[in-house]
């Protein structure tokens, strides 16, 4: 079974258009935060600390796809359920955003584990110690 993390998020006024419906790019911010939260839950430390502990530069997004099923609105308390699948130097995160159990949006992100090599960002193998924390 894949490691799963659930994050609760409130849709705020600043996330919404004048009609009070979430502006769709805000979902991607929510999903990005959910990915960071997934790693925080598995590794037991904040993003700032795990960037330092594993001596890497981050995990930039290289591909994303999303489907929007139902709008969310100002004041809605939603849940984001995130799961992860690892490759050698990349990983895929699947997010499902629900409101009262009903699917509103889903997203797939592909990210690459990168370090600095002579000032350039380069893909690096994801450490086995990191992958083990997700087991």
pLDDT per residue as tens digits for the range 52-81: 999 899 999 999 999 999 999 999 999 999
SS3 27: helix
Residue extents of the structural domains in the chain = 4-133
pLDDT of 1 > 70? The answer is: no
pLDDT per residue as tens digits for the range 77-106: 999 999 999 999 999 999 999 999 999 999
Average pLDDT, the chain: 95
* Phi, psi angle pair for 39, to nearest 5°: -65, -40
Q: What are the residue ranges of helices labelled H in 46-117? A: 47-53
Question: CB under 8 Å to 122, separation ≥6 — which residues?
Answer: 114, 115, 116
Domain spanning 4-133: which CATH class is it, in words? Answer: alpha beta
Residue 101 corresponds to which tokens in the numbers above?
A: 């159990």
Q: Are 126 and 93 in contact (CB under 8 A)?
A: no
Q: What is the pLDDT of residue 116?
A: 87
pLDDT of 110 > 70? The answer is: yes
Residue 44 corresponds to which tokens in the numbers above?
A: 């037991």
Q: What is the pLDDT of residue 14?
A: 95
């Amino acid at each position: 079974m894949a490691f799963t993390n659930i994050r609760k998020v409130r849709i705020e006024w600043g996330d919404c258009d004048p009609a009070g419906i979430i502006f769709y790019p805000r979902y991607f911010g929510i999903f990005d935060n959910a990915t960071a939260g997934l790693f925080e839950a598995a590794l037991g430390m904040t993003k700032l600390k795990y960037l330092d502990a594993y001596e890497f530069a981050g995990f930039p997004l290289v591909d994303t796809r999303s489907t929007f099923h139902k709008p969310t609105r100002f004041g809605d308390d939603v849940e984001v359920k995130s799961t992860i699948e690892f490759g050698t130097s990349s990983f895929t995160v699947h997010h499902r955003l629900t409101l009262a159990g009903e699917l509103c949006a889903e997203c797939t992100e592909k990210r690459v584990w990168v370090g600095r090599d002579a000032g350039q960002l380069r893909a690096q193998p994801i450490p086995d110690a990191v992958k083990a924390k997700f087991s």
